[in-house]
Amino acid sequence: MRTIFFDLDGTLLNEDHQLHPENIEVIHQLQQRGVTVCLASGRTYQSMRPFHRQLGLQTPLICYNGAKIVFSESETIETALTPQMLRPLVELSRDHQFHLHLYRDEEWYTERPDSEESRDYAEKTHMTPIAVDLYEIANSPCTKALFIAAPERLAMLSTLITAQLGDEVDLTSSMNHFLEVLVKGINKGWAIRQVCERLALPLEQTIAFGDGLNDLEMLQLVGHGVAMENAHETLKVAADAMAPHHAHAGVARYLRGHYQLT
């Protein structure tokens, strides 16, 4: 296998949302063997960059679950939600008291920056929320929309969004208390196809690791899809193999066996 795509949270990162030393060591060994390593996350570009640098990567970054692909500082593909898609989301957030977060130009906007949900998200991503009237932000395109709530409430919200915007958007989730809204057809699998075509990387020679529902399309697309032990059950059914738990450097342990590393 010539190329590997890694999700971050719940996959390549440990429970403290940091790179495990064993994962770093194994990735460096694979790079020395000529294996191409790419990151694919629901995170923003700025939130992914520190891990990209720490691993010494020069490869494209798949951000926002594929809504933004950064090939270089001067070349980016971005597929943003339009105002016509965003305004109903803001209305739903207000009518049903949901925490909604919008992203544009690497900035995070919310009407509730002091909420527990916002504080937890800020700690994980090292981002600072900007307090705004989301109706104003919704007047221009945004890269991604994110709702944070209990899973049972998000299930209800998903039904409402699908009823209003089902032909225009897709819904996914990186964690069970997240509901992420993207333009129809945009996902990590779509983004991986763009990267592989641009870099002339054969899809049948790719591996992908993931744990959340937002990783489903990429595990189904690549030549060898690997779900983490801690992955959503849907992912485990779809994957070709399973790696140990992300908290125990499961990526490194799987790859040592797969590539016969010492």
Reported as a single tens digit per residue, the pLDDT across 181-238 is 999 999 999 999 999 999 999 999 999 999 999 999 999 999 999 999 999 999 999 9
Which amino acid does the sequence have at 187?
N
117, two tokens: 């949900």
Q: Please determine, for residue 124, whether its predicted confidence score (pLDDT) is greater than 90.
A: no
- Give residues with Cβ within 8 angstroms of 65, minimum separation 6: 41, 42, 144, 172, 174, 180, 182, 186, 187, 188, 191, 214
Q: What share of the chain is helix, strand, coil (3-state, %, to 5)?
A: 45, 25, 30
Q: Please determine, for residue 262, whether its predicted confidence score (pLDDT) is greater than 80.
A: no
Which stretch, 36-40, 116-120, 172-176, has highest mean pLDDT?
A: 36-40
CA 141 – CA 147 distance, rounded (Å) = 17
CA 198 – CA 184 distance, rounded (Å) = 22
Q: Please determine, for residue 121, whether its predicted confidence score (pLDDT) is greater than 90.
A: no
Q: How confident is the model at residue 9 (pLDDT cuts 50, 70, 90)?
A: very high
Q: How confident is the model at residue 140 (pLDDT cuts 50, 70, 90)?
A: very high
- Could you tell me if 128 and 122 are in contact, meaning their C-beta atoms sit under 8 angstroms apart? yes
Q: Please determine, for residue 126, whether its predicted confidence score (pLDDT) is greater than 90.
A: no
233-246 residue pLDDT tens: 999 999 999 999 99
- Could you tell me if 141 and 180 are in contact, meaning their C-beta atoms sit under 8 angstroms apart? no
- Lowest mean pLDDT across 42-51, 118-127, 234-243: 118-127
DSSP H/E element including 258: helix 250-258
99-115 residue pLDDT tens: 999 999 999 999 988 88
CA 251 – CA 245 distance, rounded (Å) = 8
DSSP H/E element including 58: none
When the pLDDT of each residue in the chain is averaged and rounded to a whole number, the result is 95
Q: At what angle do helices 250-258 and 21-32 cross, to 10 degrees?
A: 30
The residues with which 243 forms a beta bridge, in sequence order, are 228
The residues with which 32 forms a beta bridge, in sequence order, are none
62-83 residue pLDDT tens: 999 999 999 998 999 999 999 9
Domains of the chain, start order: 3-78+187-258 (3.40.50.1000), 83-183 (3.30.1240.10)
Q: How confident is the model at residue 125 (pLDDT cuts 50, 70, 90)?
A: confident
- Give residues with Cβ within 8 angstroms of 67, minimum separation 6: 78, 79, 80, 143, 144, 182, 183, 186
Supply the pTM of this predicted model. 0.95
